Amino acid sequence: MAYNIPERYQDLTPAPQLDKKTLNKMVWLSCFLQASFNYERMQACGWLWGILPGLQKIHTNKEDLKASMAHNLDFLNTHPFLVTFVMGIVLSLEQNKAETSTIRSVRISAAGPLGGIGDALFWLTLVPITAGLTANIAMDGSILGAILFLVIFNVAQFAVRWWLMHWSYGLGTKAVTMLTSNAKEFTRAASILGIFVVGGLIANYGTTSLRIVVGDPAINIQGLLDGILPKLLPLLITLGIYALIKKGWTPVKCILLILVVGIVGCAFGIFAGDSKAMDAEGNTIPGGYTPLVEWYELPAEE
């Protein structure tokens, strides 16, 4: 028999404020939000697991606790790093023994906008910035680069989890109004910052260059392009991929296109490489490698 969730709790006396220890415990448990992810209710099981310590302290009446646990198993899909924002609001409503239908509605309305905000804040901003700071260390062959990336990223996202839990719990339903009224502006600002960071990474790490030389004396085509605008080729590739995506290409198709163009370009000696390739006598091969099809001759190294 299905359990019918009551509209109101039996004990309507507001519960005492939750202590910091309980709030901090729920911050840690929120890290397991997606541990029981499924396509029926998405993050519902992980959500209940994370918020359960607070519900147990709020609802001393067993029937009320059962009702609260039942409606907190409703469908939920939000950003995993910002889920404590929703937890704080819901806990505030549970503490004041609001109607279960009201709590369910607020939970959905608070969880929805966090997807776009979280993606812009973390995947488009924090990840590129952190990667930009640590990539050089990793490229030098040091494992410290990978360790620093993981430490910086996880410390930042956990600090956000902790702050949002305490802040939203203190504000209660006012936090929902603040979120919905400023979500569009915040997402746009974070996205713009992320685009600037990604653009800086393209200019800094975009190493695609031409290997071609023509004429006698030899003219280096890449040198001519650098005279017009350094890193021009990575910029054109980025703009080209952007144009294809705007026309409806999927990211997978774009990746395959780059892969095919890269392989064909290297086979015909179009793109430069720095593979440190050497001939049989141990001399560095000009251009980094010997292409399959040699249709021009590189000048000998002096």
Q: How confident is the model at residue 91 (pLDDT cuts 50, 70, 90)?
A: very high
Please tell me whether residues 81 and 35 are part of one structural domain. Answer: yes
Please tell me whether residues 182 and 219 are part of one structural domain. Answer: no
Task: Report pLDDT digits (tens) over 8-26.
Answer: 999 989 889 999 999 999 9
Please tell me whether residues 74 and 88 are part of one structural domain. Answer: yes
Task: Report pLDDT digits (tens) over 257-300.
Answer: 999 999 999 899 888 876 666 667 777 666 778 888 888 887 76
Task: Report pLDDT digits (tens) over 132-187.
Answer: 888 888 888 889 999 999 999 999 999 999 999 998 888 875 665 665 556 566 56
Task: Domain of residue 263: give its range.
Answer: 209-302
Our count of domains for the chain comes to: 2
> What pLDDT score does 123 carry?
84
Confidence (pTM): 0.64
> What pLDDT score does 155 carry?
95
Q: How confident is the model at residue 129 (pLDDT cuts 50, 70, 90)?
A: confident
In a domain, 3, yes or no: no
- Looking at residue 21, its amino acid is K
**Residues in the chain, how many?**
302
Please tell me whether residues 130 and 93 are part of one structural domain. Answer: yes
Token look-up 């960071």 returns 197
Helix and strand numbers (H, E) in the chain are: 12, 2
Task: Report pLDDT digits (tens) over 61-85.
Answer: 999 999 999 999 999 999 999 999 8
